């Protein structure tokens, strides 16, 4: 049992170390600012038709011939500021070319440097294009108009719940398009509306498209880089299955499909940009990559606008943190971008409970404490079984030591004598291992909840701990955790092997050093868990020693 205990402790230490590296490194990435005005780049501002999928019913012809300018030149820049977003819209095509997140600094000690999700500079290229695709004479043509807007600055004022940013474009033959971005207070979901007025004298057939284009970041496979642990890149949801896409495979193996209630997104640790067509109708999806830039596109169900008629097409974008309540409200399955890995089935219920506790306490630190207590309560009986086994082993320590001295030169005879003693006293030395193994998935799932949930990013707790995602600045929690670990060892039987005993005695020191640099949220969890384990084991030891 001692060997297994040692292995489990070391495994937990290794997992916790990797977790800390993944969490902390995310906030040490060099920040990049997104200016409203900047130099032209060689990257295209207009979407390439080759990167867009065909329409779900693309062979429906439209007799009207569109005389459209398909300019890739940069247009005017519109600045849009809400309570949670600061964006830039390019009037050439009406795409989002810059976005920073208010209230989400890259590092808590530098609140003026905000997380940036969109930027059309060449080295950090990440934009969202949206527009119309016209079916003309049986062929699909991307409309890339230069819109007109009333002003260059749009702001969601105090007391205002909704902000609309309208832009107008008219073709020479009478087609008029009004494109409107609609923002809501507190929301990272953005509605994109295309109102089409057909004054051409002929029917017009087309569909809306949305496209994410992003330069793929190189991923360093090292223990000190968050990219090793958090997936960064394109993902797709087909209405049923969520899939991460390998950008290296996309140049030769692009992804094509027609799905209902699907979406595409580019994700990173804690944040994402997503494109969501209407879920009620089928849409065509395509993922491709060229020259290190991947494209994720969705083309909606085509509509026919009769001459003199109007139509409205609506899509949704999401640019922001992976707030699970907002993800669920935006699209089915979008919450899967909060990547808990193979432990999702356990992690999602844990986060749900944690969220409920936070709703009551208003503090993520107290929510972690309450969740730790709840987990301990659920596994109380299993822990009690393990604790009783350890208490009985502890009670047998003097007799085991006497056997070791008697058979110190005969290992086989010592093993036989120990097994006989265990049988006589009805003690199973391995009884304590199963409860620990059963609880391990829950512990690891909670690690991933604390790692991946943006809700706890830079969240304060109490007193000197003002950021649960960063280390304790005064190392008080790690020291307390080390003390509780040492007390736990004193309550449990010492390993019979002297070498193992020395290693176990060193573990509190080793873990204290490791935990000194862990995020305070993880240290808080382990500290509270240790306190509860100490109380439980102390009670069990007293009962066993009294012979009850």
284-326 tens-digit pLDDT: 999 999 988 999 999 998 999 999 999 999 999 999 999 999 9
pLDDT of residue 340: 85
Q: Is the pLDDT of residue 224 over 70?
A: no
Identify the band that residue 217 occupies on the pLDDT scale cut at 50, 70 and 90: confident
- End-to-end CA separation in angstroms for the chain: 24
Total residues belonging to the chain: 548
Q: When comparing pLDDT for 367 and 507, which is higher?
A: 367
| Domain annotation for the chain: domains and CATH numbers | 2-21+348-546 (no CATH), 48-338 (2.70.98.90)
pLDDT digits (tens, 9 = 90+) for 71-128: 345 678 999 999 999 999 999 999 999 999 998 998 888 889 999 999 999 888 999 9
pLDDT at 411: 74
Look over the chain and give the mean of its residue pLDDT values, rounded to a whole number: 80
Give the mean pLDDT of 244-268: 93
Q: With left for phi above 0 and alpha for psi between -120 and 50, is residue 477 left, alpha or beta?
A: alpha
Task: Give the pairing type, strands 153-155 and 77-81.
Answer: parallel
Residue pLDDT, tens place only, 414-457: 777 777 777 776 676 665 566 667 777 877 888 788 878 898 88
User: Contact at 8 Å (CB) between 273 and 116?
Assistant: no
Question: Is a pLDDT exceeding 50 seen at residue 226?
Answer: no
pTM: 0.79
Instruction: Please choose, from the candidates 176, 145, 161, 170, the residue with its C-alpha nearest in 3D space to the C-alpha of residue 69.
Output: 145
- Which phi and psi angles does 293 have, rounded to 5°? -115, 120
120: three-class secondary structure by DSSP:
coil
Mean pLDDT confidence for 266-270: 92
Q: Which residues fall within 8 angstroms of residue 423, CB to CB, at 6 or more apart?
A: none
Partners of 162 in the β-ladder: 184
């Amino acid at each position: 049992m001692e060997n297994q205990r040692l292995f489990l402790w070391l495994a937990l230490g290794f997992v916790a170390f990797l977790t800390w590296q993944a969490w902390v490194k995310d906030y040490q990435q060099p920040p990049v600012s997104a200016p409203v005005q900047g130099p032209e780049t060689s990257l295209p501002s207009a979407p390439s038709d080759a990167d867009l999928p065909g329409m779900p019913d693309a062979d429906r012809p439209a007799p009207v011939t569109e005389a459209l300018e398909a300019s890739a030149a940069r247009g005017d820049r519109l600045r849009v500021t809400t309570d949670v977003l600061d964006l830039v819209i390019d009037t050439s095509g009406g795409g989002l070319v810059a976005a920073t997140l208010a209230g989400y600094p890259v590092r808590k000690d530098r609140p003026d440097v905000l997380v940036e999700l969109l930027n059309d500079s060449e080295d950090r290229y990440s934009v969202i294009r949206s527009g119309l695709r016209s079916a003309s004479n049986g062929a699909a043509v991307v409309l890339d108009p230069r819109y007109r807007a009333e002003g260059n600055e749009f702001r969601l004022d105090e007391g205002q719940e909704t902000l609309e940013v309208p832009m107008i474009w008219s073709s020479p033959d009478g087609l008029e398009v009004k494109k409107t971005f609609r923002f809501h207070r507190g929301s990272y979901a953005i509605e994109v509306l295309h109102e089409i007025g057909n004054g051409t004298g002929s029917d017009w057939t087309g569909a809306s498209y949305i496209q994410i284009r992003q330069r793929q970041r190189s991923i360093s496979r090292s223990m000190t880089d968050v990219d090793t642990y958090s997936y960064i890149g394109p993902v797709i949801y087909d209405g049923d299955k969520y899939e991460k896409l390998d950008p290296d495979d996309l140049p030769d193996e692009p992804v094509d499909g027609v799905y209902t209630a699907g979406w595409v997104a580019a994700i990173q640790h804690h944040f994402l940009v997503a494109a969501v067509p209407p879920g009620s109708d089928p849409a065509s999806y395509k993922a491709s990559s060229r020259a290190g830039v991947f494209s994720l596109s969705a083309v909606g169900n085509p509509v026919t606008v009769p001459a003199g008629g109007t139509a409205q097409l609506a899509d949704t974008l999401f640019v922001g943190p992976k707030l699970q309540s907002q993800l669920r409200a935006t699209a089915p399955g979008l919450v899967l971008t909060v990547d808990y890995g193979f432990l999702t089935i356990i992690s999602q219920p844990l986060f749900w409970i944690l969220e409920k506790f936070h709703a009551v306490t208003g503090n993520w630190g107290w929510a972690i404490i309450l969740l730790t207590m709840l987990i301990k309560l659920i596994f109380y009986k299993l822990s009690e079984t393990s604790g009783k086994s350890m208490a009985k082993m502890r009670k047998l320590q003097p007799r085991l030591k006497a056997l070791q001295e008697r058979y110190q030169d005969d290992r086989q005879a010592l093993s036989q004598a120990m097994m006989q003693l265990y049988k006589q006293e009805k003690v199973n030395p391995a009884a304590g291992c199963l409860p620990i193994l059963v609880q391990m998935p829950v512990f690891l799932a909670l690690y991933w909840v604390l790692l991946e949930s943006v809700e706890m990013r830079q969240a304060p707790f109490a007193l000197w701990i003002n950021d649960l995602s960063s280390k304790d600045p005064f190392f008080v929690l790690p020291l307390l955790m080390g003390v509780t670990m040492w007390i736990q060892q004193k309550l449990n039987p010492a390993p019979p092997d002297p070498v193992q005993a020395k290693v176990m005695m060193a573990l509190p020191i080793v873990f204290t050093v490791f935990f000194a640099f862990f995020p305070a949220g993880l240290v808080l969890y382990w500290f509270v868990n240790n306190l509860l384990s100490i109380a439980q084991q102390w009670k069990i030891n007293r009962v066993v020693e009294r012979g009850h």
